[in-house]
Amino acid sequence: MATKKSKKSTSTKSTRSKPEHGTSLITAFREIRELIVHGRMSPGTWILEADLAERLNMSRTPVRGAIHWLQREGYVLEHRNISKSRMIVAPLTKEDANELYLIIGNLEGIAGRGVALLPEPQRKQISSQLRALNERLAGIASGKNGSPGEIFEIDREFHRLIIKYGAGPRLTTLHGGIEPQTERYWRLYASSIINDLHTSVEEHTAIIRGVEAADADAVQTALKMNWLKGAERLGHVIDIFGERGSW
């Protein structure tokens, strides 16, 4: 009887250790990704596994796994030279921005179609929320109210409403995977795009009108154009200030 009890105890212990390790890996992934997205690990920075483990107060095993996971998702790149290879935070480049903005524009365009096909009472409610957010952006663009520091959060909330009401589980997952990568560009270059904020407000207005009119094609096109034009605006800034981390 004692032997059987001992085996049961051992089995329970082993099943607990796996979720704990998995949780540590997910936590490490999310925390390192946040450091990268918020610019606290600059583009082009060498990634030192031991330093990161100490910074996060974790063992090196989940940190190592998180780094490889981040590499698969494009946040981290392997930099090779003749003698060795090292991991670096992925640079911010014009080519990468164009690709990311094209992808997210198409994803949100699909979600926008879903919003446009909702019953009228829902569309009115969503339009009202979108318009309120856009008016806040317009106030910042005109200098009448609000702070430039709010632009990113307001704009993100505007686009997330489209996903919330128009995307299914699969599309939501795809969007959630790509959004933080576009956020890297937004956060590091947003202060330089403020002079073009009024243009973004106009593009948002086209999205809202399409929702109100239940015009799925118009909403999809307007969302794609908002991101494509955003990539153009970002490209002009990158041309002036240079690509970060690619030197």
User: Measured between alpha carbons, how far is 161 from 112 in angstroms, rounded to an integer?
Assistant: 10
**Helices marked H in 38-150 — which ranges?**
49-56, 60-72, 94-116, 120-142
Cβ-based neighbour number of residue 56 at 10 Å = 17
pTM score above 0.85: no
Nearest to 125 by CA among 152, 164, 67, 90: 164
Q: How confident is the model at residue 3 (pLDDT cuts 50, 70, 90)?
A: very low
User: Measured between alpha carbons, how far is 92 from 167 in angstroms, rounded to an integer?
Assistant: 28
Contact predicate 183/175, CB 8 Å: no
pLDDT at 22 over 90: no
User: Measured between alpha carbons, how far is 131 from 209 in angstroms, rounded to an integer?
Assistant: 10
What percentage of residues in the chain have a pLDDT greater than 70? 89
Segment 163-176, tens digit of pLDDT: 999 999 999 999 99
Residue 100 dihedral angles phi and psi, to the nearest 5°: -60, -45
Three-state SS at 7: helix
